A = this chain, B = another copy of it.
Amino acid sequence: MENQKTKITAEQGKHEIFIVREFDATTDLVFQAHTQPELLVQWMGLENHKMEIPIFENKNLGAWRFIHSDENGNSFGFCGVIHETEFAKRIIRTFEFEGLPERGHVSLEFLNFEGLPNDKTRLTTHIIFKSLEDRNAMVESGMEHGVIDSYNKLDSLLSGKN
């Protein structure tokens, strides 16, 4: 799975995913866009949805929650805990989609922000899942489209900040 910019790898038989994307902005800016709620809503929001962030504790042993609502009042949320956050370097956090039929399908994400020449950043997201089934369900959920779309919006946000 690859478009010109975002590379998503889900090797057969392994309950993990790697997503690699480069941004034309410094690690400071890319990290801030991931940890400041007022920036997050500008690129993680969904088409025709309002995004709210009722919890965002950007600290080690913190927590987060996002809610997306459409104009008919339908909403769905995501939540997790932040094991570690290190400015411009790394975020380690759990992730769960609250809209699944049963709870407990939690994954663990490692976001690594790597500085490249010319003030660019390579963001590598490594996600480990409870099972191969959970991993495959995520891949088949249309994650690829969502990730590419969000990162394209993040490009626009970052270009206005350079």
A83 / chain B contacts, CB cutoff of 8 Å: 80-81, 94, 96, 106
Sample of 16 further A-B pairs with CB below 8 A, known A62-B81, A84-B103, A94-B94: A15-B15, A15-B16, A61-B63, A61-B79, A61-B80, A61-B81, A80-B83, A81-B81, A83-B106, A92-B94, A92-B104, A106-B110, A107-B108, A108-B108, A128-B128, A128-B129
Kindly supply a per-residue 1/0 record for chain A positions 73-84, scoring 1 wherever the CB is within 8 Å of any chain B CB and 0 otherwise.
000000111111
B128 near A15: Cβ-Cβ < 8 Å: yes
Q: Considering the chains assembled together, what is the distance between the CA atoms of A129 and B84 in angstroms?
A: 16
Kindly supply a per-residue 1/0 record for chain A positions 119-160, scoring 1 wherever the CB is within 8 Å of any chain B CB and 0 otherwise.
000000010111000000000000000000000000000000
Q: Considering the chains assembled together, what is the distance between the CA atoms of A140 and B63 in angstroms?
A: 32
Chain A binding surface, main DSSP class: strand
A128 / chain B contacts, CB cutoff of 8 Å: 15, 108, 128-130
Q: What is the chain B residue whose CB lies nearest that of A82?
A: B81
- Min Cβ gap A30→B in Å is 18
Which of A61, A90, A92, A108 neighbours the largest number of chain B CB atoms within 10 Å of its CB? A61
A55 within 8 A of B: yes
A106 / chain B contacts, CB cutoff of 8 Å: 83-84, 92, 108, 110
